[in-house]
Amino acid sequence: MPRASPVRIVKQLTAAGYNADREAVTLLAGAPDPDRAVEALLDQIESETVTITAGEVRAVLNGATHRTDDTTVSGGGETSTNRSKAAASAAEVTGVEQADQEASNRSPRDPAEPIVHGDMTGESTGTGEYEDFVSVFRDRYERLSAMLRGRVKHRPTDALESMPGGAEGALIGLVTDIRSTRNGHWLVELEDTNGTFPALVMKDREFASAVEELLLDEVIAVQGTLSDDGGILFVDDLFFPDVPRTFEPSTADRHVQAALVSDLHVGSQEFLDGAWADFADWLHSPAADAVEYLLIAGDMVEGVGVYPDQDEELDIIDIYEQYEAFSERLKAVPGDMEIVMVPGNHDAVRLAEPQPAFEPELRKIMSAHDAHIYSNPSTVTLEGVSILLYHGVSLDELVAELPMPEVSYDQPDQAMAQLLKKRHVAPKYGGKNRIAPEKQDYLVIEDIPDVVHSGHVHKLGVGAYNDVRLVNSGCFQGQTAFQRSVNISPDVGTAPILDLDTLEVTVRKFA
């Protein structure tokens, strides 16, 4: 069935002065010729109609004469409507007269449908068997080693073993052990599909500091000289899969923006309802005219049983009610924006990454504005700009494990840069990160994105790594008891606004 963008349909109806039910828009979008259907509808509709119903659309599509009753339509329990920017509906959404006024002043948005890559929702094959772990690590090795192959003339570990002492050699492997020797050098054990081989990095080499950046299970390449007995590789150079310095990101060819947020934690006593309402109101204002997309990088709700004693801080204890409440907050956002979201560790999906997007029942609850819901991680392309959405649980691991002072909660973008360098969103298996074994490693950053958008650490971070824009969005949750106990002060009410045409970021603050 040919499908026009629902957003375009809403825009056409809005331009003619009508609102429409969600189902009416869906029907029009799915019509054989949506433009003709809209045209026919506008011809037939009575001018005093405010909201076009599905019944009216069906009448037009069936070629029947116009009728205004809508009794044949079963809403399927869906109560949300596809709101246009028309003043009446803006008032209904926000309950704020000022926004109502502003809404009627702003020009309509015309976002395009996002294109998604790496959404593994419905693709999960893992059964948790040993074989799945073997295949996910094999896939990780194969994809990451392919990125490194051009940089070294590597040999498999078993081939290195049979080479004579003193020979030049190179190896691509998964880091399985990092030890310092008695003299302060580093012994890094690397594993490929054929076996393992030890590599020695001397402490006085210029790249010795790279060892500090290593995490277990990441894939690197080393090049050097075999020891006299041929049993160790003395490393002369070390490579990460990395992003080339020459990387040039793509940009949109018109002025259009995306708001990048995360970590609302609706249902928590600390959810900053007022800050969210202010943000939503701002989106209705002319100042936000160019903001056509809203990306949410996980932790939409607070969830239940995520941390010990979490129930003491819950405002809403039922998970479905939390999503109902979240959905209400989503409805406050202008209906002509495209919304993309992925789950986080507080959301009601499996905790292990990759996290498939929600089950149908929760999707239905969150169906306001036809939001696009993908797995964590996923990459969406908006106006030609590819954005990797990853909630960010591994950032905790990086901050805890990496000794470099710049990789800290105060600069989450620096931790995000490490993910790009390692070309994997959760390099270390185990620890804080749970990884679900799948046939394929969906966590490899296969294609270099133009932008990485994360959340989770509740700290704002805007940076870049070899011209890839990095954004951590902060949160809409006030400081929790846990955060107080470990002295984390979250960046609250923050909404980084990304220019898709320049990749510049302006941070808006609503708290």
- Between CA 279 and CA 474 the distance in angstroms is 14
Nearest approach in angstroms of CB 379 to Zn ion is: 19
Task: Give 432-435 contacts, CB < 8 A, sequence gap 24+.
Answer: 432/393, 432/394, 432/396, 432/397, 432/400, 433/353, 433/393, 433/394, 433/397, 434/351, 434/352, 434/353, 435/136, 435/352, 435/353
Among 192, 299, 336, 338, binds Zn ion (CB under 5 A): 299
Residues at the site binding ligand D5M, with contacts judged by CB under 6 A: 263, 299, 307, 345-346, 396, 456-458, 482-483
**Residue (of 261, 347, 332) closest to 302 by Cα position:** 347
- Return the closest-CA partner of residue 461 out of 166, 322, 260, 306: 260
CA distance linking residue 333 with residue 328, whole number of Å = 9
If you ran DSSP here, which 8-state letter would residue 1 be given?
-
The full DSSP string for 46-67 is -TT--EE-HHHHHHHHTTPPP-
Q: With respect to ligand D5M, which residue has the nearer C-beta, 263 or 292?
A: 263
Of the candidate residues 21, 56, 213, 263, the single one contacting Fe ion (CB under 5 A): 263
Query: Could you say whether residue 265 binds Zn ion (CB under 5 A)?
Result: no
Number of residues interacting with Fe ion: please give it, by CB under 5 A.
Answer: 2
Which residue shows structure tokens 């495209």?
A: 338
Task: Compute the least distance from the CB of residue 299 to Zn ion, in Å.
Answer: 4
Tell whether the torsion through CA atoms of 391, 393, 396 and 398 is positive or negative.
negative
456 binds Zn ion (CB under 5 A): yes
Query: Tokens at residue 498, please?
Result: 């990304």
Q: Which is nearer to Zn ion, 118 or 344 (CB)?
A: 344
Q: Which is nearer to ligand D5M, 107 or 487 (CB)?
A: 487
345 belongs to the binding site for Zn ion (CB under 5 A)? yes
Please state the closest distance from residue 352 (CB atom) to Fe ion, in A: 17
Query: CB 271 → Fe ion: shortest distance, Å?
Result: 11
Q: Which stretch binds Zn ion (CB under 5 A): 77-85, 344-352, 371-379, 470-478?
A: 344-352
State the nearest-atom distance from the C-beta of 315 to Fe ion, in Å. 15
**Alpha-carbon gap, residue 146 to 150, rounded angstroms:** 8
Instruction: Give strand pairing partners of 463.
Output: 470
Show the site string, 278-317: x = touches Fe ion by CB under 5 A, - = not.
---------------------x------------------
Residue 344 in the binding site for Zn ion (CB under 5 A): yes
* Residue 396 touches which member of Fe ion, Zn ion, ligand D5M, none, C-beta under 5-8 Å by kind: ligand D5M
Q: Which residues bind Zn ion (CB under 5 A)?
A: 299, 344-345, 456
Q: Which residues bind Fe ion (CB under 5 A)?
A: 263, 299
